[in-house]
Chain A
Amino acid sequence: MAFLELSNVRKAFSQSVAVHNFDLQVERGEFISFLGPSGCGKTTTLRMIAGFEKPTSGSIKIDGKDITQRPPNQRNIGMVFQSYALFPNMTVADNIGFGLKVARRPASEIRERVTEMLRIIHMPEYGDRYPFQLSGGQQQRVALARALAIRPQVLLLDEPLSALDAKIRISLRQEIRSIQRQLGITTIYVTHDQEEALSLSDRIVVMSAGHVEQIGTPFEIYNFPQTAFVASFVGTLNVLPASVIDASAGRLAVDGQEIRTTRPIPNTAGTNVQIALRPEALTIVSERHNGANYLQGTVEDVMFLGSIVRVRVRFGEQLLNFDMLNNPNLTVPTPQETVTLSFAPEACLVLGNSPANA
């Protein structure tokens, strides 16, 4: 049985529905990300797990016990906020020890635990400092220590790195992940940054407008997106309209040029679908062979991005970006040049309808 279970959780406000029918099973020790744009319901769902919002319907269970009606201070859940939310009138040590003090643990136990937590976050000398003396990254680490000090069943993080500089974000997120692994604590991590979600999670829940778009491992989400939203939100993507020639044979026509895909096509012949191609799946070729797909177009623009060279190609009404790895010996295509792009049939994604549009 799953450790954390959300069944049919729904949250409606008077004006709108924030979360539709959310189902999720989380194993003990798993690191799950809720990924999506602002307003997609990820924070609302997190707050329902924490107890700051009550679901309109549905249930939340931890370790078999139904906690849906329990107030937040009885759930033994650790929460880390985007704004750190350290208590400004207390030292770092007092902040970390607060949960234990409230639980009336003996002072010696509190002291020991605080020292241990300070060690885990690599800030052993900072016990006597006040929050206003710390940088953003330090404050967030203290917030993490404070949440973990009470040995919570579940750790919840609400966009914890959004307020920090890019460099600190990267180092801190690795630290969060390694601490989480070390302690083996079940974790839910809310973010709008797909790089964060992809690099940290065991599984990702992609959300949009209150609906779950897809749940899967980072690899699955990236390589096998199930909806147009997931495909476009995670990674860059070229989305093109195509008409179906033969659904069972996987034949489509883009701008009059025929291509083939191995992905299932949900529609019938004559209708239009959307196909998606990752920029890294395309290459320039000079010869055509059987078995692969080819699209011919004109180069419009070449952008040098450092390790990647991004080329924009136009064919008919459509524009396509494809990436080449930088190489000093490279012959970079020039604008106005005619090029032939090739990609494997498996790389041609066919996008289904997302639940939000259903």
Chain B
Amino acid sequence: MAKILRAESQPTGIGTIANKVPWAWLGVVPFFLFVMAFLFYPAFSIVVRSFFDQSGNFTFQNIIDLNQPFIRASYWFTIQLSAVTALIGGLLGFLLAYALTLGKLPEGIRSLMLTFSGVASNFAGVPLAFAFVATLGQLGVVTQALRSIGISIYPTFSLYSFWGLTITYVYFQIPLMVLIMVPALDGLRTEWREAAESLGATPLQYWRHIALPILLPSILGTMALLFGNAFGAHATAFALTGGGTKGTVVTLLIGAQLSSDALSNPGLGNALALGMIVIMLITIGIYSWMRQLAERWQSG
């Protein structure tokens, strides 16, 4: 900000490029420096260091070490968890978003659900874990209710199993889908439906040939986002395990690298982080590509 204050004495207007460019660049430098320091440098350094061992020699060993059965299982578990919650959250979220827009639910309900979605997608983490422990934990309300009618879900069920995590993760996946799909559904112009109708199409034909194809990039892109969302989740899983070191989810493994010295191989931690970044890059790549497609068609 101080740099901009100094520019006050410049006499000429926006038009003079030669005079002005340095100041403009100067104005954005703090931002870039910050991102460098707190994101790029750390991330880059981790990526690089994963290719070096403790003595400083270049090696692929860290990456190869990722192939341990335990770690492989962990990645596979996390990928499955993320995919399933993305699908469930995506489907249910889409149906809810549809109900709120084209389903013509009253405006009050729509704004209530949108506010709630904003809250719920941020409720994730420790409080959400608590909420589900209170619901489906050993002493949880739903557990007790089921027990009273003769259904005992324990010990086969555990909140920290695949399905327990799924049920919990979906609580913030659905709202995220709703928040993104509601504007996308709003973007379906009524003229398209009317034009299709005037040409003789039934509602089903309209959906099959026009609405769904138009929405598909948004739906797929958001599901990719949901996948990344679940894959990167840490706090929720951590709180559900009660802070234990079972580490079936990759994020917990990475966290464990820092808090305990259980695996005192620093290169492994770097490689885990690298693996995660790679997966996230692919996910975000898909999301970006889909979003570009969606924007091109929706503005047409």
Q: Which residues of A are in contact with B by a Cβ distance under 8 Å?
A: 50-52, 71-79, 81, 83, 85-90, 98-99, 101-103, 130-132, 143, 146-147, 150, 156
Contacts and interface: CB of A to CB of B under 8 A. Distances in A.
Most chain B C-beta atoms within 10 Å of own C-beta, residue among A78, A87, A102, A131: A87
Given A50-B198, A98-B199, A150-B200, A83 B297 contact: no
Contacts of B195: 79, 81, 85, 87, 143, 146
A66 B200 CA distance: 18
Contacts of B192: 85, 87
A88 B199 contact: no
Contacts of B213: 89
Contacts of A147: 198-199
B214 A98 contact: no
Contacts of A83: 189, 191
Contacts of B198: 50-51, 72-73, 75, 77-79, 147, 156
Among B194, B199, B209, find the residue whose CB has the most chain A CB atoms closer than 10 A: B199
B65 interface: no
Contacts of A143: 195
Contacts of B108: none
B196 interface: yes
A349 B202 CA distance: 52
Given A89-B214, A99-B200, 15 more contacts: A71-B197, A73-B198, A73-B201, A79-B194, A79-B195, A81-B194, A81-B195, A83-B189, A85-B192, A85-B194, A88-B298, A89-B297, A102-B196, A102-B205, A102-B209
Contact of A88 (B194, B196, B297): B297
B296 interface: yes
B299 interface: yes
24 contacts: A50-B198, A73-B197, A73-B198, A75-B198, A78-B199, A81-B191, A83-B191, A85-B192, A85-B195, A86-B300, A87-B192, A87-B195, A87-B209, A88-B296, A89-B213, A90-B209, A98-B201, A99-B201, A102-B199, A102-B200, A102-B202, A131-B300, A147-B199, A150-B199
Nearest to B199: A99
A132 B293 CA distance: 12
A130 B300 contact: yes
B297 to A, nearest CB: 4
A26 B213 CA distance: 39
A156 B199 CA distance: 12
Most interface-central of B195, B198, B213, B214 (chain A CB within 10 A):
B198
A72 B300 contact: no
Nearest to A86: B300
B146 interface: no
B131 interface: no
A71 B202 CA distance: 10
A72 B201 CA distance: 9
Nearest to A72: B197
Contacts of B299: 132
Interface in B241-300: 296-300
Given A88-B300, A130-B300, A73 B200 contact: yes
A296 B199 CA distance: 61
Contacts of B298: 88
Interface in B115-150: none
Contact of B214 (A75, A88, A150): A88
A74 B197 CA distance: 8
B29 interface: no
Contacts of A156: 198
A297 B115 CA distance: 68
Interface string B165-207: 0000000000000000000000001011011111111100100
A131 B195 CA distance: 15
B210 interface: yes
Given A88-B297, A88-B300, A103 B191 contact: no
Nearest to A149: B199
Contacts of A86: 300
Contact of A132 (B202, B205, B209, B300): B300
Nearest to B210: A87
A157 B213 CA distance: 27
Given A85-B191, A87-B192, A89-B213, A76 B296 contact: no
Nearest to A47: B194
A72 B193 CA distance: 11
Contacts of A73: 196-202
B297 A52 contact: no
A81 B196 CA distance: 12
Contacts of B300: 86, 88, 130-132
A17 to B, nearest CB: 23
A132 B197 contact: no
A81 B300 CA distance: 14
Interface string B78-89: 000000000000
Nearest to B201: A102
A98 B189 contact: no
A32 to B, nearest CB: 18
Contacts of B196: 73, 87, 98, 102
A73 B210 CA distance: 15
A83 B195 CA distance: 11
A52 B194 contact: yes
Contacts of A103: 200
A101 B205 CA distance: 10
B194 A132 contact: no
Nearest to B296: A132
A75 B300 CA distance: 27
A78 B200 CA distance: 10
Contacts of B209: 87, 90, 98, 101-102
